[in-house]
Amino acid sequence: MGIEKHRNILDYTLLSLLRRKFKNIGIILVFTFVIFIVGSILFLSYSFKREAYLILKGSPEIVVHRMMAGRHELTLLSYMKDIIEIPGVSKVEPRYWGYYYDSMTKANYTILSMGETVMKTSRLLKGRLPEINEKNSAAIGKGVARARFIDIGNVFSLQSADGSQMVFNIVGIFETDSELMTADLIVLSESDFKRLVKMPEGMATDLAIYVYNETEALTVARKIRERFPDSRPILRDEIIRTYDAVFGWRSGLVLTLFIGALAAFIILAWDKATGLSAEEKQEIGILKAIGWETSDILEMKFWEGLVISLTSFLPGIILAYLHVFFFGASLFAPALKGWSVIYPEYRLAPFINFYQVATLMAITVIPYIASTIIPSWKASITEPDIVMRG
Amino acid sequence: MFLHPGIIALTIGSGIVLLLILSAALLGIRILRRWDIKSSSEEQLSLERKTYLVSILVQYALSFEILSVFLFIYTADDIHTLLVGAMCATGSLNANSYGFPTLYAKIVTFFVSASWIAINYLDNKAEDYPLITIKYKLLIGIVPIVLAESALQLQYFLNINPNVITSCCGTMFSEEGKGIGSSLASLPILPTKITFYSLLTILLVNGIAVSRTPIKPFTYLLSISSLLFFIVSIISIITFISLYFYQLPTHHCPFDILQKEYYYVGYPLYISLFSGIFFGMMVGFIEPFKKISLLRETILQTQHRWSLYAIIGAVIFALISTAPMVLLPFTLEGY
């Protein structure tokens, strides 16, 4: 008897909702839209966080810059000798990288010289990387190739720091699946890089430091700082945490801006639920006259709210998923990621977990359900005789 | 404070719960002052209708509250990446002095509003609302608890500072450390196990006794043994149950079992414990209402049913927590 009764009430609710299709379709459409937007923001920020985490996972545990007058300076290679002697450090590697502004395409490229770190990602390449000491050859990212209309075997030139043109043969192009990292990248050999930017000997942009045990990274960083007070060690964990905070904060900000719209929707839902038509009132009156109790009407209204929420939730979340993972979140991406002339075209790796769905429900469904409580009570206390008398 | 989506959801949620409970309590005060079951005035009729509103307000508030306990733990777990030194929910909750009190307040709110709904259920079974005074006094009592919970939660989120190094479960529940977590973790395992299983037996015996004949000493004993079993269970989870799930003799965290790595086993574990304990405690709690002759039959039936629920909850909890001890090769003997 117990379950049967609830099932019958649900059955009745579904039929009565179907009878009033048009009134409810409005609510469902708007609700779907609300869920779609909140869901897109959530999915997008989580998948950015995840992407950042996956990329940074392979980076060195510590990066050391040198600071001068509060500005980032070139690091002395002589630091390496001392750092490698700190217990726990497995490898120290100089890194040469920087940015190059190309006035022709009005874009910034990231220029990088060959090191072991790049070798690790070389499997992503079409063609090959320039050899360590190979002169005048380069591997470029897809974005650079697109902007300059060039392909493997072509040549292109960059203006070096002393004003002369340097010509490079393109020996490789990074493939699309790593675009987030490589779209604006130009990889050169070490000697070419130094000539291009006129970097003095015995210097590097920064030092990458690998440690055996990741939990010791903090201690190693402290020792580096004590030994070289002008240095600034940056931990990988710190970078990951910063990305997390930035994306969490950005999505929170967009969500907060969106709360006004959510409130408007709640008022709409409240209004719709309060404004019972004469027909509906009569229906409830008849139900009560044939023996339904106030609590049964309340249950019917509860099912009504649940059916509407879930009917909107499912398409809303599916649309958000498609929007973010198949169409690159074209509506919100500019607010959440950042921008640049050469921007990587990429498809985010789908990442969705129970927590995101629960948060989405808490933000959208709970306010909706709460807004219908008082209207459904008002409907449930309708007196049969008053309604039927007209 | 960060504008994290989970934090926004929880803040909105607690605002809504507060609003629902406050309006229910205001209605409750009016009902308390004006209630006269013998009167057939217009006002009494409208008050009787309002009781429906109060009960659905609290019911919705409770269901949101249950959701918010899990969302809170999950959010704490999610933001641990933002905090130096935190590796799971323990670290995040420890980030300032409001974290754990918020969790406790949430658990108290959960139990209190669930008992309100249980009493309301009984009250509606009788014709003339015999429990109405108790019911609405309890409702007014819920208000400060919910208020405190919302305030604590807000303070917790406002005061999270990502630069303060927090200590995580590794240190907080370590055997050498100081503080309550550590002293629980360093309890000797064998005596704790014996206490745990003997209390479980007492609870089950009482439960069976109540389900056969719901009379006085057994019902009260079931309540007391449920409460004791709850405390001992939480201690046991920290002292030895969690170790078997982690398969590590040194890891005592009560939150990590909620994570994916342990197949979310914490959820059925805590849900069965909380619901079993709740029904066990309620059996004795409603014993005094037997004096009301109209309710006597209903209460006898209810006690019978709830004692069964208590037994089922406790058994499921015991099975889940015992399974890894029996089925997995990991053993704690010798430590």
pLDDT the model gives residue B166: 67
Question: How many domains, chain A?
Answer: 2
CA distances from B226 to A100, B184, B195, B295 (A): 70, 20, 13, 24
Beta-carbon separation of B9 and A41 below 8 A: no
The pLDDT of B92-109, averaged and rounded, is: 88
Question: Cβ contacts of residue A343 below 8 Å, gap of 6+?
Answer: A143, A183
- Are residues A182 and A328 both part of a single domain? no
Last residue of a domain, one of A234, A261, A278: A234
Dihedral sign computed on CA atoms, order B320, B326, B328, B332: positive
8 A C-beta contact, residue A79 and residue A63: no
- Are residues A15 and A77 both part of a single domain? no
Residues of chain A with pLDDT > 70, as a percent, come to 91
Interface size A-B, in CB pairs within 8 Å, comes to 94
- Are residues A19 and A162 both part of a single domain? no
8 A C-beta contact, residue B104 and residue B187: no
pLDDT the model gives residue A354: 83
- Are residues A214 and A200 both part of a single domain? yes
Integer Cα distance of A215 and B284 in angstroms: 52
Beta-carbon separation of A373 and B3 below 8 A: no
Among A45, A370, A377, the residue with its CB nearest the CB of B16 is A370
Integer Cα distance of B257 and B234 in angstroms: 13
Among B4, B10, B19, the residue with its CB nearest the CB of A252 is B4
Among B19, B53, B74, the residue with its CB nearest the CB of A358 is B74
Picking from A74, A78, A115, the residue whose alpha carbon sits closest to that of residue A199 is: A74
Burial class (CB in 10 A: 0-12, 13-18, 19+), B145: middle
Question: Cβ contacts of residue A291 below 8 Å, gap of 6+?
Answer: none
Beta-carbon separation of B5 and A42 below 8 A: yes
Among A245, A256, A355, the residue with its CB nearest the CB of B78 is A355
Chain B closest CA to A211's CA: distance in Å? Answer: 19
**Predicted ipTM?**
0.82
- Are residues A223 and A90 both part of a single domain? yes
The token pair at A379 is 């409907």
3-state SS, A221-282, equals HHHHHHHCCCEEEEEHHHHHHHHHHHHHHHHHHHHHHHHHHHHHHHHHHHHHHHCCCHHHHH
Last residue of a domain, one of A194, A210, A234: A234
Number of neighbouring beta carbons within 10 Å of residue A244: 23
Segment B276-307, tens digit of pLDDT: 999 999 999 888 888 888 888 888 999 999 99
Last residue of a domain, one of A187, A210, A234: A234
Residue the block writes with tokens 């309060």: A274
- Are residues A254 and A230 both part of a single domain? no
Integer Cα distance of B26 and B39 in angstroms: 22
**DSSP track, B44-62:** HHHHHHHHHHHHHHHHHHH
Name the residue range of residue A29's domain.
2-55+242-389
- Are residues A31 and A126 both part of a single domain? no
Chain A residues within an 8 Å CB radius of B70 = 358
Percentage helix, strand, coil for chain A under 3-state DSSP, each rounded to 5: 55, 20, 25
A169 phi, psi to nearest 5 deg: -85, 135
- Are residues A278 and A344 both part of a single domain? yes
Q: Is the pLDDT of residue B226 over 90?
A: yes
- Are residues A47 and A76 both part of a single domain? no
- Are residues A215 and A71 both part of a single domain? yes
Integer Cα distance of A265 and A377 in angstroms: 20
- Are residues A175 and A317 both part of a single domain? no
Half-sphere exposure of B12 (CA within 13 A, CB side): 27
Segment B9-46, tens digit of pLDDT: 999 999 999 999 999 999 999 988 888 888 888 888 88
The token pair at B147 is 């208020």
Beta-carbon separation of B52 and A369 below 8 A: no
Integer Cα distance of A134 and A139 in angstroms: 12
Give residue B183's pLDDT band: very low, low, confident or very high (50, 70, 90): confident
Burial class (CB in 10 A: 0-12, 13-18, 19+), A310: exposed
pTM of the model: 0.80
Beta-carbon separation of A362 and B13 below 8 A: yes
Query: Pairing relation of β-strands A107-113 and A185-188?
Result: parallel
Query: Pairing relation of β-strands A137-140 and A165-174?
Result: parallel
- Are residues A385 and A324 both part of a single domain? yes
Integer Cα distance of B201 and B243 in angstroms: 22
User: Which one is predicted more confidently, B168 or A100?
Assistant: A100
Number of neighbouring beta carbons within 10 Å of residue A83: 20
Segment A259-308, tens digit of pLDDT: 888 888 888 888 888 877 778 888 888 888 888 888 888 889 899 999 99
